[in-house]
Structure 1
Amino acid sequence: MISGVPVTSEELNEFEKHRTRLFGIAYRLLGSASEAEDAVQDTFLRWNDAEHAAVREPVAWLTRALTNLCLTRLASARVRRESYVGPWLPEPVITEDAALGPLDTVEQRESVSMAFLVLLERLTPPERAVFVLREAFQYSHREIADILGLTEGNCQQLHHRARERVGRDRSPFTASPDATRRIAQRFLDAARGLDVAGLESLLAADVVSWSDGGGKAQAARRPVFGSDRVARLLAGWVRKGGPDVTATMVEVNGQPAILGFLAGRLTLAVSLDIADGRVAAVHAVANPDKLAFLAAQLAPSR
């Protein structure tokens, strides 16, 4: 039983078989783990009420239902984000356990990175849906047209337009996962030691730091540019917490990230974009609402 709705074992097993994939699609479309969970749950409720004998391909049916639910949510999300306090960043998700599906390739890891999800905010909901389904999940234009109820030609146009909008500022991953982890570990060691010079040496000269407090946690409301200023900002976060601050490194959104805890409570998730041996961008989420999903992921291990 899910949310009090009785289901047959066959229906439940069929849905659970595709749950991770559905969540991965919803998260890429919405940039919010909590909203993605809601969309997946709503998809299940529709699946539970469906005439299953008439469904030839359950995964196609589920993907169509989920995507259209997400398109409805995206329209209202765009309105809310226009009044968001300070920079808006996606909700961070630990990806070491394949919570967003396989991230074996550079393209798969890029598709869930914080920077890339921010770029997707430029797209209209239909453009985003076509782009995510095509780029991250390799659906054909014909399949996407069936999912969205559009013509194949229209989907091709939407995809082309989305690639142009995203491509202008797209920075594909260039470093290997092992190399990024080594740099991230050095970054963590320097932060723990309040080594401003060490932090600065790991930052690109034109590094930019984005902070999302959402008006609910202290955070810079504008981006901070330059290695010296970003290094001081990062060291200041650690220094301000005093001896009660602890930190650990995990993989978040396919990238190395530093999680900060104050008296054992998760208060900060800092994702690092690493290129050419340096940290090129920092995305720091302090909004407690946006840390709730990640904190729940940590709960069993902590």
Structure 2
Amino acid sequence: MESGVALPLTDSFYLAWRGYLLGIAYRMLGSVEDAEDIVQDLFAELQGEGIPQMDYPKAYLTRATVNRSLNVLKSARKQREEYVGQWLPDPLHHRLLEPGPLERVEHRESLQYAYLVLMEQLLPAERAVLLLHEVYQYDYRSIAELLGKNEAACRQLGSRARRKLRPTKPISEDTSSKRDMELAEAAASRQVLLDRFIFAFERHQVDTLRELLSEHAIMITDGGGKVHSAINPIKGAARVHAFTASPKTFQALRRARVTFVELNGEMQVLFWNEHQLEAVMCVQLSEGSSHIQGIYVIKNPEKLESIQLRLDA
């Protein structure tokens, strides 16, 4: 319970909660910069006014972060509707959100890039309820208190969000050694597929490219109207294959230097022209990690500049 006395903001308090709050804001917004701004603004406010004395600071900080994120997201949705072509979330370098005691290991799966792309289908309130319930394990009564809604409305929002995201795998809470082994095997399989795909892509091996694609593959490119990219998602193996196999479409990327880096908890692909980032390719594998299900390519120069600054930090 809160009292009228405010406590001073300490370094230990900041370090204890920063990662947890960044995780919420980033999952809500899909933007690293906006998430960092929200958390910094919140702590700046607490620095000036002090921390309201309370038995459970988690609820206070979660509510403040979610509500600030909702305000930003409502404005951002309007901007994204006017965005030229497809808007893709920012990829997150693993250094920016190291798991702390409040950022549980099983939460990491909800950071996977393909999951964040799917979340863009949701309305702001649906996104908040789904994250709080599915990722952070709040019950609907608590969510209602956090969002200032009634419990029945929150249940309805959660149900609607899950229907929109079908079919998706539930967020795993299995942190056993068996699960660790499965994750290690999946990472190894992923690297093999990425190596094969990039090898075939660079050398224009069209048959291999087709072989690696899932029948229901999808490709989304984000150029922001500043460079050539597909305006709409490309759906189906035949169409994705035609796009990736085109000798002209990705001519510059085929000549680029390729590196691999962990983004959103999975190994992804960077394309470089000398020391300048030319594109980021985030790849989603099919169930069983046997084929490539999703290819998400960020080519917007403004986004790439921001991503490169974070990679170099």
User: TM-score, length-normalised on structure 2?
Assistant: 0.81
> Partners in 1 of 2:249 and 2:271 — Cα distance?
9
Contact persistence 1:133–1:144 (CA under 8 A)? yes
Relative to structure 1, the CA distance from residue 78 to residue 238 in structure 2 (aligned partners, 3 Å threshold; closer, same or farther) is closer
Equivalence for 2:71: 72
Contact persistence 1:202–1:278 (CA under 8 A)? yes
> Partners in 2 of 1:81 and 1:148 — Cα distance?
24
Q: Secondary structure at the match of 2:97?
A: coil
1:184 aligns to 2:183 (yes or no): no
Structure 1 residue 269: Cα displacement: 0.7
Contact persistence 1:211–1:286 (CA under 8 A)? yes
Kindly report which structure 2 residues correspond to 1:1-302, keeping only aligned pairs within 5 A, or say none.
Answer: 10-52=9-51, 54-95=53-94, 97=95, 99=97, 101=99, 104-105=105-106, 108-109=108-109, 111-167=110-166, 169-170=167-168, 176-225=186-235, 226=238, 227-233=240-246, 236=248, 239-241=251-253, 243=255, 245-275=256-286, 276=288, 277-300=290-313
* Ranges in structure 1 where 5+ consecutive residues have no aligned partner: 1-7
> Partners in 2 of 1:89 and 1:264 — Cα distance?
23
Q: CA RMSD in A?
A: 2.8
Q: Which amino acid aligns with 1:228?
A: H
Structure 1 residue 268: Cα displacement: 0.6
> Partners in 2 of 1:73 and 1:224 — Cα distance?
29
Structure 1 residue 202: Cα displacement: 1.6
Structure 1 residue 160: Cα displacement: 1.7
Contact persistence 1:21–1:100 (CA under 8 A)? no
Q: Secondary structure at the match of 1:150?
A: coil
Relative to structure 1, the CA distance from residue 267 to residue 178 in structure 2 (aligned partners, 3 Å threshold; closer, same or farther) is same
Q: Secondary structure at the match of 1:79?
A: helix
Relative to structure 1, the CA distance from residue 172 to residue 268 in structure 2 (aligned partners, 3 Å threshold; closer, same or farther) is farther
1:102-160 deviation per Cα after TM superposition (whole angstroms, max 9, x unaligned): 6854x742x22333223222322121111111112222223322321223333222212
Equivalence for 2:178: none
Contact persistence 1:272–1:281 (CA under 8 A)? yes
> Partners in 2 of 1:23 and 1:90 — Cα distance?
15
Q: Which amino acid aligns with 1:39?
A: I
Contact persistence 1:47–1:62 (CA under 8 A)? no
Equivalence for 1:3: none
Structure 1 residue 77: Cα displacement: 0.9
> Partners in 2 of 1:299 and 1:72 — Cα distance?
30
Q: Which amino acid aligns with 2:113?
A: M
Structure 1 residue 15: Cα displacement: 1.7
1:8-56 deviation per Cα after TM superposition (whole angstroms, max 9, x unaligned): 9852320222111111111110111111111111211222234435233
Q: Secondary structure at the match of 1:290?
A: helix
Structure 1 residue 201: Cα displacement: 2.3
* Ranges in structure 2 where 5+ consecutive residues have no aligned partner: 1-6, 172-181
User: TM-score, length-normalised on structure 1?
Assistant: 0.83
Contact persistence 2:8–2:50 (CA under 8 A)? no
Q: Which amino acid aligns with 2:241?
A: D
Contact persistence 2:9–2:51 (CA under 8 A)? no
Greater Cα shift, 74-83 or 214-223: 214-223
Q: Which amino acid aligns with 1:99?
A: L
Contact persistence 2:9–2:50 (CA under 8 A)? no
Contact persistence 2:89–2:116 (CA under 8 A)? yes
Contact persistence 1:94–1:251 (CA under 8 A)? yes
Structure 1 residue 100: Cα displacement: 6.6
Contact persistence 1:113–1:253 (CA under 8 A)? yes
Greater Cα shift, 190-199 or 75-84: 190-199
Relative to structure 1, the CA distance from residue 171 to residue 289 in structure 2 (aligned partners, 3 Å threshold; closer, same or farther) is farther
